């Protein structure tokens, strides 16, 4: 434990608490009190593992999300383990899978926020809304050539942001 | 052609352009590599839920008071860990420590040949009325720790049992408790403790209560 841990906690909280809170709300299916415990436990682990906080902000956030996700799985496993009558309830078989999917999707969403507004816009049009280059160009009021080059650079920027978060395609 | 890879992977090219680009890919290793690099991204993007992508969930903010709660918990646990670590630390010859207290003693500590490295006030946590200074003296066998506590005369809180305090040092091998004592009905109390750790290696001096909550500390 470093003496600066209070200061470290303040910085972590300022930079990541809201994002982590939203992720934990999703993880706990909007159980606000469990989500709060999860954020708290995750932050406490972070200040005990300063070495995990040495990467860029993206890597730190990925680490926090991963810890929160693992805590959820641990909690799920111990609940399952302590269930007195295993047949009384159908276990949530998909829990680790579900949280894994959720973790990846949030890391991708977080990586997207690192892209410029222009890059985010072309990806939103061409991917989320399924628009063609011509439609996206009309929608955004830019030439088709610009849409093509922006998707080229946007995908590269996304790839780098994902790498920083430990997500590989 | 190389700038078409993004739109191609996203499936945004018209069918005529797509065919043309695919014909180009067959003969251009660089573009084919570029497409392979981006190919998985489309699948990853598909995992992002629309409301997250649109940022419509962004209004959720961490509840007020969360930082204070976490900081409080951090301190409590820090303290608990120290207290729990004492038995183990005491068992280690090199990490072990001995402590002796002299209440309101007027005796001067025996002269030492070592050099005094610090005599500083500890910073109280909010609401803590006790004050203390610590002097760390390097000696041949380690560090001599002298703590002077000042209790608040005006503190009218009545204790059925006097509160117990712990003196904890942060060292490279982890926290080390070097003394415990009870509050006495005297305005000032002095105690001395000792550790094999060198003064330079002591990064923090702390006083905690019996529950492990941090009361006073000094960063070095």
CA distances from A115 to A110, A111, A153, B147 (A): 10, 7, 10, 55
> What pLDDT was estimated at residue B154?
56
Q: What is the DSSP string of B43-100?
A: HHHTTS-HHHHTTTTTT--PPTTHHHHHHHHHHHHHHHHHHHHHHHHHH-TTT-EEEE
Average pLDDT of the segment spanning B49-77? 79
pLDDT at A63 > cutoff 80: yes
pLDDT band at A82 (very low <50, low <70, confident <90, very high): low
> What pLDDT was estimated at residue B183?
80
> What pLDDT was estimated at residue B107?
40
The pLDDT tens digits for B128-183 are 888 899 998 888 888 889 898 888 655 444 455 678 889 999 888 888 888 888 88
Q: Do A40 and B66 touch (CB under 8 A)?
A: yes
Q: Do A154 and B66 touch (CB under 8 A)?
A: no
Q: Do B17 and A133 touch (CB under 8 A)?
A: yes
Q: Which residue of chain A is at minimal alpha-carbon distance from B202? A: A3
Average pLDDT of the segment spanning A37-66? 88
Most confident of B2-6, B108-112, B182-186: B2-6
Average pLDDT of the segment spanning B40-48? 90
Q: Do A21 and B14 touch (CB under 8 A)?
A: no
Complex prediction ipTM = 0.81
Question: Which 142-171 residues of chain B touch chain A by CB within 8 A?
Answer: 170
> What pLDDT was estimated at residue B13?
95
Q: Chain-centre distance of CA B151, in angstroms? A: 27
b/e sequence B137-161, b meaning 16+ C-beta within 10 Å:
bbeeebbbbbbebebeeeeeeeeee
Q: How far is B138 from chain A (nearest CA, A)?
A: 21
Tell me, yes or no, if the pTM score tops 0.90: no
> What pLDDT was estimated at residue B90?
47
> What pLDDT was estimated at residue A73?
86
Residue B182 host element (H or E) = strand B174-182
CA distances from B100 to A161, B192, B193 (A): 57, 6, 6
């Amino acid at each position: 434990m470093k003496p600066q841990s209070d200061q470290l906690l303040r910085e972590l909280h300022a930079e990541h608490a809201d994002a982590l809170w939203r992720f934990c709300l999703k993880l706990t299916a909007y159980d606000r009190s469990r989500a709060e415990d999860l954020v708290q436990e995750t932050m406490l682990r972070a200040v005990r593992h300063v070495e995990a906080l040495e990467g860029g902000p993206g890597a730190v956030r990925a680490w926090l999300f991963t810890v929160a996700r693992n805590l959820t799985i641990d909690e799920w496993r111990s609940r399952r383990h302590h269930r007195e009558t295993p047949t009384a309830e159908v276990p949530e078989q998909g829990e680790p899978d579900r949280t894994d999917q959720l973790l990846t999707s949030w890391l991708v969403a977080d990586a997207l926020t690192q892209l410029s507004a222009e890059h985010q816009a072309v990806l939103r049009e061409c991917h989320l809304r399924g628009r063609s280059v011509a439609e996206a160009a009309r929608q955004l009021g830019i030439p088709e050539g610009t849409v093509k080059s922006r998707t080229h650079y946007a995908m590269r920027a996304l790839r780098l942001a994902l790498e920083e978060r430990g997500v590989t395609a | 052609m190389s700038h078409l890879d993004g739109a191609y992977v996203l499936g945004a090219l018209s069918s005529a352009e797509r065919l043309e680009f695919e014909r180009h890919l067959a003969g251009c290793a660089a573009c084919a590599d570029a497409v392979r690099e981006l190919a998985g991204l489309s699948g990853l993007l598909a995992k992002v839920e629309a409301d997250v992508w649109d940022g419509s969930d962004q209004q959720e903010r961490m509840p007020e008071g969360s930082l204070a709660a976490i900081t409080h918990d951090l301190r409590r646990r820090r303290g608990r860990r120290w207290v729990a670590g004492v038995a183990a630390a005491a068992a280690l010859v090199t990490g072990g420590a001995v402590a002796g207290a002299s209440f309101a003693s007027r005796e001067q500590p025996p002269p030492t040949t070592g050099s005094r490295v610090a005599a500083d006030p500890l910073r109280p946590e909010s609401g803590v009325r006790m004050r203390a200074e610590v002097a760390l003296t390097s000696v041949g066998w380690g560090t001599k720790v002298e703590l002077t506590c000042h209790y608040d005369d005006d503190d009218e809180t009545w204790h059925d049992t006097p509160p117990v305090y712990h003196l904890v040092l942060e060292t490279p091998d982890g926290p080390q408790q070097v003394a415990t004592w009870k509050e006495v009905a005297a305005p000032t109390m002095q105690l001395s403790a000792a550790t094999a750790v060198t003064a330079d290696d002591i990064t923090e001096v702390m006083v905690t209560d019996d529950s492990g909550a941090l009361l006073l500390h000094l960063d070095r």
